[in-house]
Amino acid sequence: MRARTWKLVGTVVVVAAVGVLIGLYVSKLTTEAGSPSYTVPVKTVNGKPVVDLTIETVAAVGPELSPSHPDFVSYLIRNAQGKWERDTVWHLPAHATVHVTIYNFDGASGLRNSYLARPQGTDGNTYTVDGKTLDVINPDDASHTFAVPAYGLIVALPGVADDAKNQCGYAPCALSMAHRTIQFTFHTGSAGHFRWQCFVPCAAGWLYGFGGPMQTIGYMDGFLNVA
């Protein structure tokens, strides 16, 4: 009888330990290399939803925003309080007009496929760079891309000149530092789950520049959750 009780206790302990280990494993997996989501505030203009998206791209995201990967390049989004967050999963309303402003603080790496140097999927298939309306940039000047392939949206972000003064090191970057301002407008359709990514090989040190931050959600990749 005593032996049986010990066996029961032992079995329960082992099962509990296994359960805890599985729980830890699964929770590690659900949170690893992901991103919390951010709901972009919606305005209504003439009865239609309009959204202002302000994002920036930085050369090194810094230990504050990413303790495990301070040297990763990253996208950041400005929240309603004006603080920059590292979220790449954004909730947008369906059938909305989205005005995007991107501040790029990073230098150029160059596009692998020059075709992507031409903006597409935006209003008029053009965009504004530092106030000038352009329909193409030199692919070698591209620093990052904001692209939502399901929408046919591709926008190449020209980089800060190599010899520019006051370049940003670690994020967060102040607007007084060297940067380019890119603005464009696109439209969301019906509800869905759409990935977005950068197309410039900007992950320093990885083969073809497409490893590390370029393959991790929360840095250079994310989702548009349109609802």
Partner 1 sequence: MSATAPTTQPGPNHARRVIVAWIVFSLIATPLVAIFVGPNIPPGNGSDQATQQVFDNTVMVALLTPVICLLLVFFVYALAQFRKQRGGDIVDGPPLREHRMVQLLWIVLTSLTVLFLAGFGTFELLQNGAGGGQGPSPIAVPSGQKLQVQVIAQQWEFTYRYPSYGGLETSQLILPADTLIELHVTSLDVVHSFWAYQLGIKADANPGVDNIAYLKTKGPRTFSVHCAELCGLWHGYMFSQGKVVSSSDFSAWLHQQEALFASVKQYMPAYANAYYPDPQRRAG
Partner 2 sequence: MRRLLGFNLLTGIVLGVAGWYAGWYAAHAIVGPSIDYFADVDYNELSVVLAYLGGVLGFLIGLGFLNYPILRLRGYPPSLREKETAGTGRYFGLCTDHKVVGIQYLVGIGVFFFIGGLNAMLIRIELLSPSRQVFPAGTYLTIVGIHGTMMMGMMSSAILGPFGNYLIPILIGARRMAFPRIEALTFWLLMAGGVILETTVFFGGFPTGWTGYEPLNTQGNPGMDCYLIFFALVGISMTLLGLNMIATIVTMRAPGLTWTRLPIFVWGILSTSVLMVLAAPVLIATLGMALLDRTAQTSFFIPSAGGSNYLYENLFWVFGHPEVYILALPGFAIVLELLPVFARKPLWGYRLAISGLLGVSLLSWFVWQHHLFVSGINGDLRPFYMLSTELISIPTGFTFLCGMMTLWRGKIRYTVPMLFCLAWFFNFLIGGLSGVFLSDVPSDVTTHGSFFSMAHFHYTIMGGLIFTFFAGIYYWVPKMTGFQLNETMGKIHFWWMFIAFNATFAPLFAAGFLGQPRRVVTYPADLTFINQWVSVSAFILGAAQLFFVFNLVYSLVFKRIPAEANPWESKSIEWQLPSPVPVYNFSKIPVFSSDPYGYGEPARPVAVPASSPAGRD
- Given the rule CB under 8 A, which residues bind partner 2? 4, 7, 11, 22, 25-26, 28-30, 32-35, 68-71, 192-193, 195, 205-208, 210-212, 215-218, 221, 223
26 binds, among partner 2, partner 1, none (CB under 5 to 8 A by kind): partner 2
What residue has token string 């203009």?
45
* Strand bridging mode 221-226 / 74-78: unpaired
Q: DSSP of 55-121, one letter per residue? A: EEEESB-HHHH-SS-TT--EEEEE-TTS-EE---EEEE-TT-EEEEEEEE-SBP---SSGGGGS-BS
Stretches 40-48, 85-93, 147-155, 172-180: which one binds partner 1 (CB under 8 A)?
Answer: 147-155
107 Cβ contact list (under 8 Å, min separation 6): 59, 143, 159, 160, 161, 162, 167
Q: Which is nearer to partner 2, 61 or 108 (CB)?
A: 61
For residue 57, the minimal CB distance to partner 1 (Å) is 11
118 contact choice in partner 1, partner 2, none (CB below 5 to 8 Å, kind-dependent)? partner 1
Task: Enter the DSSP assignment of 170.
Answer: B
The distance of closest approach from Cβ of residue 92 to partner 2 in the complex, given in angstroms and rounded to an integer, is: 15
- Judged by CB under 8 A, the stretch of 21-29, 86-94, 178-186, 209-217 that binds partner 1 is 209-217
